[in-house]
Amino acid sequence: MPRGADLAALRESVAGCRGCPLHRDATQAVFGRGDASARTVLLGEQPGDQEDLRGEPFVGPAGRVLDEALAEAGIDPGEAYVTNAVKHFKFERRAERGKRRIHKPPTLREMTACRPWLAAELELLDPEVIVALGATAGKALLGSAFRVTKERGRLLTWSAPGPGPESGGGDGEGRGGRDAGGGEAAGAAWEGPLVATIHPSAVLRAEDDREAVRAGLVADLRIAAGVLD
Ligand code: URA
């Protein structure tokens, strides 16, 4: 992790990250995409199959769902910064599915190993609102007790530890807090509004109730859009 790096330098360095074993099977690390002055940061879980191949976040089917939902909610997708809690694609190959690479959720250890990249990104971006897309993104920001079903669509506060005795080490749990200015937030490098919602791939997985699931995603994103008004 280079000190004093800008987003371009972080992107270059993450390519050589060996902080956890996921780099071994992934094609490449996928860093965030967007302008450093973006007002909104969208945080996903990890790159998917297409993102892994193309080296950019949310360029596959989930990205298309996300872009449409953002536009409907009043957030210009082109003006948001998109990134992931984990920068390498985790998958397994299943012979019975034509050797397709099937997504596997990251472990807490993998999320913790990747955390410094996310913390550095957020500190540089200093967004007006951050949207956690799904359970992994929520846990990466608010700890493992986070439940997207309970917290979605509400205005929360997230804070990141800055330099000082509170930062560094730890197990990746409990380092974020909803209590801005409180104990866990002491020395915060970044703190601000956070809205959690479902991951856009939940819309793709939905069958009979797909439109209702999609409408729920849009409704949650409208809460984030309200912060920008
Ligand atoms: N899903 C994610 O969480 N992130 C991506 O970049 C693509 C799919």
Closest Cα to residue 66, out of 1, 6, 21, 131?
A: 131
With respect to residue 173, please indicate whether it lies within any of the assigned structural domains: yes
The CA 105 to ligand 1 mean position distance, Å, reads 11
Continuous H helices in 15-134: 49-54, 61-73, 108-125
How far is it, in rounded angstroms, from Cα 78 to Cα 70? Answer: 10
Domain membership of residue 1 (yes or no) is: no
Is residue 132 included in any domain, yes or no?
yes
Average confidence (pLDDT) over 182-208: 79
Is 44 near ligand 1, meaning CB less than 6 Å away?
A: yes
> Looking at the 3D structure of the chain, how many domains does it have?
1
Over range 31-55, report the average pLDDT: 98
According to the model, what pLDDT value does residue 119 have? 92
- Chain segment 9-40, per-residue pLDDT in tens: 999 999 999 999 999 999 999 999 999 999 99
In the reported structure, the alpha carbon of residue 185 is separated from the centroid of ligand 1 by a whole-number distance in angstroms of 28
Alpha-carbon gap, residue 152 to 27, rounded angstroms: 32
For residue 97, what is the domain's CATH number?
3.40.470.10
Q: pLDDT above 70 covers what percent of the chain?
A: 86
Does 79 fall in a domain? Answer: yes
CB 144 within 8 A of CB 173: yes
Q: What is the DSSP letter of 145?
A: T
Q: Is the CB of 58 under 6 A from ligand 1?
A: yes
- Taking only the tens place, the pLDDT of each residue in 115-152 is 999 999 999 999 999 999 999 999 999 999 999 999 99
What domain range includes position 65?
7-228
ipTM of the complex: 0.94
CA of 90 to the centre of ligand 1 (A): 11
Predicted TM-score of the model (pTM): 0.89
Least confident of 85-94, 137-146, 152-161, 203-212: 152-161
Cβ burial 91-110 (10 Å sphere, 16+ → b, else e): beeeeeeeeebebeebeeeb
How far apart are the CA of 134 and the centre of ligand 1, in A? 10
Q: What percent of the chain has pLDDT above 90? A: 79
Res 205 pLDDT > 80 = yes
Decide if 2 is inside a domain: no
Whether residue 22 lies inside any domain: the answer is yes
